[in-house]
């Protein structure tokens, strides 16, 4: 093994340690790894930056803008609520939710699709007495399955097409080629959730009732007894704190001691800190009680009038530089001019002072901010989802017909072969801007530069794997098990890709596995296409954890899911999808 290969192997090992330990976000870790390979001489400057010249990066950037235009125009609101319809059972709700989500996700990025559907499903579930925890994982999984139906449905598919660009198989795939397998997978997913999956999902009920909880994020809100206020000297029962609508009193911090089992006869004293646990609406409810004031000192530093403030929920993105830092160390108030009131993780409150909580990807933050906070930061890389609790805005659909019309023309141009994908995507973005379907400001902010950085860096690392012979060694390692059997090697490559996508991002997994696929196909003198398609489907088949795919993280907080909920319901679907892919791919795209 050469010195360059040893260096590359060491850099990749450090990359995995940094990502799996949560010390660095994946995109930053990939960029650092690329720089390390450049500095150590494994990659030349041209080779290190070669990944950023791949057309796939620019197509993905265009589709961020297209997705933002469709979201901003409210085009999806036209028919989604009508499709969902009236009251139904959970099993019959599955096709109503999953089919439109899968269809839309096959055309635009599934991340904004899920962001749009979450509040709509919350409202729909609340009105029809259904548990939201039965609906949101199917929402995420449907968006993943729908995304693999076309070459533009996910950034991973676009990326694999970009990697195929200089190969003999480059012109074999058309826009809807993956639909041959993707559409049956969507049908399989719908049937799975109708018959089995919905039974494996949690259904949490409010205590003492038969009503499903549709908003089960649990927060801790701290309030202080005012000195000489009306609460001081009263018992818990007399103060009216026993039967609050949105919260319950979990503990009292009084004169250096903690009272965790709070009885109705407990007497309140000046400056006692009362910790309430409950739904987000608890903040407004508690602020209206005379004799109590917020215990968060950071709130007092906000220079925003109370009547101009709003409550906002935000989900921490995996690429946020806040991940791995405490709230205090992240300088959240200074940076965003707002205050975190509480943090919910896996639907449960964190029993710590807010400032000392170390943030993780997927944490749901309850924020007090100026009313324009959501508008200003809706495209921030730090948040997967932002929603104002006291004002659900309805999009202006005036531009919806134009947006959908331009998207239809784009699809016709690509399918007919009139224009290549990259040219058509760029023309579509220009047309959306020229017709006012999206403003220049929104277009600029909608492009996730950190994802593009991660893709470019991972392409450079993939080149290093090829140049140093590590890809060949990894391929030979798989072939030592699979031998000369292309079917067995295809299965091993698919499993390796699924494992990689659960540990790191789907895009990084695809890029790292692609050079291995190239070596295997060369050694077997077979077509590269079946192996490339196995990577394409395997990199998106993230059903076992919330961290493997962004949409899984997005639904974790609103659905109140635990880590094990994903594995419990996802393992069966993962096996079904894997079996289908490995069986059908060689039939559609033969090895020889």
Instruction: Tell me if the pTM is above 0.75.
Output: no
pLDDT for residue 22 is more than 60: yes
Q: What is the pLDDT of residues 524-537, one digit of tens each?
A: 999 999 999 999 99
Cα 92–Cα 98–Cα 101 angle in degrees, nearest 5: 145
Contact 311, 283 (CB under 8 A): yes
Contact 461, 49 (CB under 8 A): no
Number of H helices, E strands in the chain: 25, 10
Please tell me the predicted confidence (pLDDT) of residue 427.
94
Give the best-scoring range by mean pLDDT among 25-34, 118-127, 393-402, 427-436.
Answer: 427-436
pLDDT for residue 215 is more than 60: no
Least confident of 201-205, 336-340, 470-474, 544-548: 201-205
pLDDT-derived band of residue 90, with 50, 70 and 90 as boundaries? confident
Q: Cα–Cα distance between 13 and 33 in angstroms, integer?
A: 10
Please tell me the predicted confidence (pLDDT) of residue 185.
96
Cα 336–Cα 311–Cα 376 angle in degrees, nearest 5: 40
Mean pLDDT (whole number) for 388-405: 64
Please tell me the predicted confidence (pLDDT) of residue 288.
67
Contact 462, 512 (CB under 8 A): yes
Please tell me the predicted confidence (pLDDT) of residue 392.
37
Please tell me the predicted confidence (pLDDT) of residue 329.
92
Buried b (16+ CB within 10 A) or exposed e, 216-249: bbbbbbbbbbeeebebbebebeebebeeeebbeb
Q: What is the pLDDT of residues 108-152, one digit of tens each?
A: 877 778 877 887 787 678 767 788 899 999 999 999 999 999 988
Please tell me the predicted confidence (pLDDT) of residue 211.
46
Percent of the chain with pLDDT over 90: 28
SS (H, E, C) 290-309: CCEEECCHHHHCCCCCHHHE
- Please give the DSSP secondary-structure letter assigned to residue 170: T
Taking alpha carbons only, the member of 133, 83, 85 closest to residue 103 is: 83
Q: Does the CA dihedral 528-532-538-539 come out positive or negative? A: positive
Q: Cα–Cα distance between 208 and 245 in angstroms, integer?
A: 14
Q: Cα–Cα distance between 583 and 534 in angstroms, integer?
A: 11
pLDDT for residue 30 is more than 90: no
Helix (H, G, I), strand (E, B) or coil at 171: coil
Percent of the chain with pLDDT over 70: 92
Alpha carbon 522 to its chain's center: 36
Q: Residue count of the chain, please give it.
A: 592
Pairing status of strand 309-316 against strand 339-345: unpaired
Residue 247, beta-bridge partner list: 278
pLDDT for residue 212 is more than 50: no
Contact 527, 489 (CB under 8 A): no
Least confident of 43-52, 121-130, 298-307: 298-307
Least confident of 386-395, 479-488, 547-556: 386-395
3-state helix, strand, coil in the chain (%, to 5): 55, 10, 35
Q: Which residue has the higher pLDDT, 153 or 548?
A: 153
pLDDT-derived band of residue 8, with 50, 70 and 90 as boundaries? very high
pLDDT for residue 435 is more than 50: yes
Helix (H, G, I), strand (E, B) or coil at 247: strand
Q: Cα–Cα distance between 92 and 195 in angstroms, integer?
A: 10
Mean pLDDT (whole number) for 504-522: 88
pLDDT for residue 214 is more than 70: no
Mean pLDDT (whole number) for 63-91: 72
- Cβ contacts of 487 within 8 Å, gap of 6 or more: 582, 586
Mean pLDDT (whole number) for 321-334: 90
Least confident of 55-69, 71-85, 129-143, 517-531: 71-85
Please tell me the predicted confidence (pLDDT) of residue 21.
78
Taking alpha carbons only, the member of 471, 550, 545 closest to residue 505 is: 550
Q: What is the pLDDT of residues 492-501, one digit of tens each?
A: 999 999 988 8
Domains in the chain, start-ordered, CATH in brackets? 3-203+413-588 (no CATH), 217-394 (3.30.70.1450)
Q: Which residue has the higher pLDDT, 205 or 360?
A: 360
- Please give the DSSP secondary-structure letter assigned to residue 389: S
Q: Which residue has the higher pLDDT, 74 or 447?
A: 447
Q: What is the pLDDT of residues 545-579, one digit of tens each?
A: 887 787 888 888 788 888 889 999 999 999 999 99
Q: Cα–Cα distance between 444 and 446 in angstroms, integer?
A: 6
Average pLDDT, the chain: 84
pLDDT for residue 407 is more than 50: yes
Mean pLDDT (whole number) for 497-508: 84
pLDDT-derived band of residue 398, with 50, 70 and 90 as boundaries? low
Beta strands in 255-346 (DSSP E): 257-259, 273-278, 292-294, 309-316, 339-345
């Amino acid at each position: 093994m050469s010195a360059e290969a040893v260096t590359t192997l060491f850099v990749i090992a450090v990359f995995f340690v940094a990502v799996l330990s949560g010390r660095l976000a994946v995109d930053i870790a990939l960029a650092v790894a690329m720089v390390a390979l450049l500095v150590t001489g494994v990659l030349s400057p041209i080779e290190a930056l070669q990944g950023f010249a791949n057309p796939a990066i620019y197509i993905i950037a265009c589709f961020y803008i297209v997705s933002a235009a469709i979201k901003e125009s409210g085009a999806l609101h036209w028919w989604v609520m009508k499709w969902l319809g009236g009251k139904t059972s959970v099993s019959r709700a599955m096709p109503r939710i999953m089919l439109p989500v899968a269809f839309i996700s096959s055309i635009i990025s599934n991340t904004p699709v899920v962001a749009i559907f979450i509040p709509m499903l919350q409202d729909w579930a609340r009105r029809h007495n259904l548990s939201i925890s039965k609906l949101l994982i199917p929402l995420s999984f449907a968006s993943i399955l729908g995304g693999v139906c076309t070459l533009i449905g996910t950034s991973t598919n676009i990326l694999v097409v970009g990697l195929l660009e200089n190969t003999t198989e480059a012109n074999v795939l058309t826009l809807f080629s993956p639909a041959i397998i993707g559409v049956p997978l969507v049908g399989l997913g719908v049937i799975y959730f109708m018959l089995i999956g919905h039974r494996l999902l949690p259904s949490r009920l409010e205590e003492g009732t038969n009503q499903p909880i549709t908003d089960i994020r649990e927060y801790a809100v701290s309030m202080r007894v005012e000195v000489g206020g009306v609460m001081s000297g009263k018992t818990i029962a007399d103060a009216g704190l026993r039967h609050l609508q949105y919260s319950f009193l979990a503990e009292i911090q009084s004169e250096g001691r903690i009272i965790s089992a709070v009885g109705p006869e407990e007497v309140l004293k000046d400056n006692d800190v009362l910790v309430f646990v409950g739904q987000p609406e608890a903040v407004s409810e508690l602020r209206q009680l005379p004799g109590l004031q917020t215990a968060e000192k950071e709130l007092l530093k906000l220079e925003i009038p109370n009547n101009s403030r709003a409550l906002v929920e935000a989900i921490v993105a995996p690429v946020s530089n806040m991940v791995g830092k405490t709230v205090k160390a992240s300088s959240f108030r200074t940076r965003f001019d707002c205050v975190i009131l509480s943090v919910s993780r896996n639907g449960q409150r964190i029993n710590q002072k807010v400032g000392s909580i170390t943030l993780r990807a997927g944490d749901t933050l309850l924020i007090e901010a100026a009313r324009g906070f959501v508008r200003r930061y809706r495209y921030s890389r730090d948040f997967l989802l932002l929603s104002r609790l006291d004002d659900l805005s309805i999009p202006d659909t005036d531009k919806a017909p134009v947006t959908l019309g331009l998207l239809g023309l784009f699809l016709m141009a690509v399918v007919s072969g009139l224009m290549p994908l990259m040219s058509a995507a760029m023309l579509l973005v220009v047309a959306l801007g020229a017709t006012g379907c999206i403003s220049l400001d929104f277009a600029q902010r909608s492009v996730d530069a950190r994802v593009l950085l991660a893709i470019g860096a991972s392409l450079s690392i993939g080149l290093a794997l090829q140049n140093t012979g590590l890809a060949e060694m990894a391929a030979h390692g798989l072939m030592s098990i699979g031998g000369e059997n292309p079917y067995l090697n295809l299965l091993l490559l698919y499993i390796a890709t699924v494992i990689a996508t659960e540990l790191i991002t789907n895009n990084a997994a695809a890029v790292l596995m692609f050079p291995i696929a190239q070596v295997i196909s060369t050694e077997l003198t077979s077509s590269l296409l079946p192996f490339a398609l196995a990577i394409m489907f395997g990199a998106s088949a993230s059903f076992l954890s919330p961290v493997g795919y962004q949409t899984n993280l997005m639904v974790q907080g609103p659905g109140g899911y635990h880590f094990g909920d994903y594995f419990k319901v996802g393992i069966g679907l993962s096996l079904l999808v894997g079996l289908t892919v490995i069986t059908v791919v060689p039939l559609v795209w033969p090895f020889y």
